[in-house]
Structure 1
Amino acid sequence: MIVAFSVAPTETPGSKAEMADAVAEAVRVVRASGLPNETNAMFTLIEGEWDEVMDVVKRATEAVVAVSPRVGLVLKADIRPGYTGQLTAKVDAVNRRLAAAEQKENGL
């Protein structure tokens, strides 16, 4: 399964912690997990089995809770048993189609 999630503090009363500091701690948890992952401007994606992915999401959320009494979590999952490597395979499939369309447009 692939999970895309975003976790961030909604308030940090009495703390000098910035949102980026809290998010960095969550990303540190994800990267330390050893599971395939990537982070972009809006989400962190992680791929693995249900229990291991959800455990990482929980621990990443707890890292943010440590600096904020209120935390927002957005989670989207692609559950596809029997498939691995989808974190890159989906992007590769789109890139192949774009390249083929470009070649067709250029008469190659």
Structure 2
Amino acid sequence: MLAAFSITPIGSGEDVGQQVAEAIRIIRESGLPNRTAASFTEIEGEWDEVFAVIKRATDAVMTVSSRCSIMIKADIRPGHTNTLNTKVETVERYLAQP
């Protein structure tokens, strides 16, 4: 499974970088392939391990915020791995064609 998600602290003011960093720390320490962008983080692994990491990251945010919002988009494709990279590589290959 490849999941793109964001965990947004609510009621913590406009600057939520510190709270988000706590979530990203959990994600990076998970050992699962992941990539962080400006609005979403992508993580790849088995269903149970991906959602366990999302829960731990959410719990970390909730220790410093009284409320949060989570958005999750998942691509479940049994038998495929490394889609975190291969999906991007496919698009780049097409972009390189004249």
- Please give the TM-score of this superposition, normalised by the length of structure 2: 0.95
Match of 1:73 in 2: 70
Aligned partner of 1:91 among 78, 81, 88: 88
Q: When the two structures are aligned, how many residues end up with a matched partner?
A: 97
TM-score, normalised by the number of residues in structure 1: 0.86
Counterpart for residue 30 of structure 1: 27
Corresponding letter in the other structure for 1:51: D
Give 1:3's aligned amino acid: A
Runs of 4+ in 1 over 3 A off after TM superposition: none
Structure 2 partner of 1:104? none
2:11 maps to which residue?
11
Q: Does 1:58 align with 2:55?
A: yes
- Tell me the C-alpha RMSD between the 2 structures: 1.1
CA shift, 1:9, in A, is: 0.7
Looking at structure 1, the residues matched to 39 and 49 of structure 2 have their Cα atoms a distance apart, in angstroms, of 22
Code of the residue aligned with 2:45 in structure 1: it is G
Deviations 1:79-107 (A, max 9, x none): 10110000000000000011113xxxxxx
Gaps of 5+ in 2: none
Percent identity of paired positions between Structure 1 and Structure 2: 55
Q: How far did 1:12 drift?
A: 2.9
